[in-house]
Amino acid sequence: MDERTALLALSRTKGIHAAAKKALAADTARLAAIFAGRERTGDGSIDAAIRAFKGFAAIKEDLAELPRLGAEVVTIKDAAYPPMLARAPDAPVALYKKGPLPFPEHILAVVGARRASPEGLALAESIGETLSSVGVCVVSGLARGIDAAAQRGALKGKGKTVGVLGCGIDVCYPSENRALFDSVGRDGAIVTEYAPGTPAFAYNFPERNRIIAGLSKGVLVVEASRKSGSLITARLALEYGREVLAIPGAVFEEGHQGANNLIKKGAHLVEDIGDILSCCFPALAPGVAAGRAAGTKVGIDLSGDEGYIFKLLGAGRVHVDEIIERSRFETRRVMAALTRLEMKDAVQSMPGGFYIRKV
């Protein structure tokens, strides 16, 4: 038995914790001998689980099918395996990968609510685009809501995006994200630890979240309630020694309480893109220092009234009447500045007379 087959068999063996699998994968020659029945691990439950594995024919079929799917296998012993993920104690021993994007050095997870607010979606997309424009790869779960918005934005920049699935590499879930799924597979990368054809079972997603956290230098929570699954990713990031960041929201809105609570417990509060870069990617931060000091969006030259109004907006949505009150400008002067900011894609107008800054 070759070592790759042994690692795939180990990845599919039920009843063995991911951390124990990683430990077994350290010696692939011995692992192959264990699956062949020539050696034992010394742990009765692990040996029983390995003896019970009968999926070698399915592995052979899947390896033959992967080229047709445009996918490949990357094992923890391969040079192409993501180095940040390899440091996680429960890293998967094998990944299925589709897409041309290699695993880059600068990766940030952007996660949040599936039922996100319109301003949360707009903010997530803007964050994804801005991060990608400076060379940061955005990783998320291709889920509806914040995940999808951040990854749509990231596809517009050079950093691109990695989508981590809780199902097989050939399964698009949710189905409504088919266009995004195809775009990420064509211009970024899609990865999963699950065999082709594996449905999107609910219990797969907490396991999937450890890969999102493990791939990343940090996890940014854009919008999340107290029960949001994105908080699992944040907790795992802390366990792995990664940074946890959150964008604050309205204190009494349930949709923001999870993110606000993270900040209360010590997560980095994010007000602009410079906060993210200085925390997780300091080598990239000098390039945006001037814009951050002026309160402006990365790559956009704002001066005079535009820069002043932009700085007044902060991280959340603000009503135009409040902007006028804060600025002490005449209404006509504020509206003219907001119009120019919209034309420069620095702010976005929301229903009801609200505006949100695009980080």
Q: How confident is the model at residue 167 (pLDDT cuts 50, 70, 90)?
A: very high
Which pLDDT belongs to residue 300?
61
Which pLDDT belongs to residue 251?
78
Strands in 318-319's sheet, in edge-to-edge order, are: 318-319, 354-357, 347-350
Q: How many CB atoms are closer than 10 A to CB 290? A: 11
β-bridge pairing 347-350 and 354-357: antiparallel
β-bridge pairing 107-111 and 94-98: unpaired
d(CA 204, CA 238): 20
Is the entire prediction scored with pTM above 0.85? no
Which pLDDT belongs to residue 301?
64
Per-residue CA distances from 243 to 21, 168, 184 (Å): 26, 29, 25
More confident residue, 283 or 199: 199
Calculate mean pLDDT across residues 269-280: 89
Which pLDDT belongs to residue 290?
42
* E strand or H helix that includes residue 340: helix 331-343
List the end-to-end C-alpha distance of the chain, in Å, as a whole number. Answer: 52
Of the candidate ranges 98-112, 171-185, 200-214, 294-308, the one whose mean pLDDT is the lowest: 294-308
More confident residue, 161 or 225: 161
Of the candidate ranges 168-177, 209-218, 262-271, 336-345, the one whose mean pLDDT is the lowest: 336-345
**Angle at the Cα of 94 (from 91 to 100), degrees rounded to 5?**
105
Any residues with CB less than 8 A from the CB of 301 and at least 6 apart, and which? none
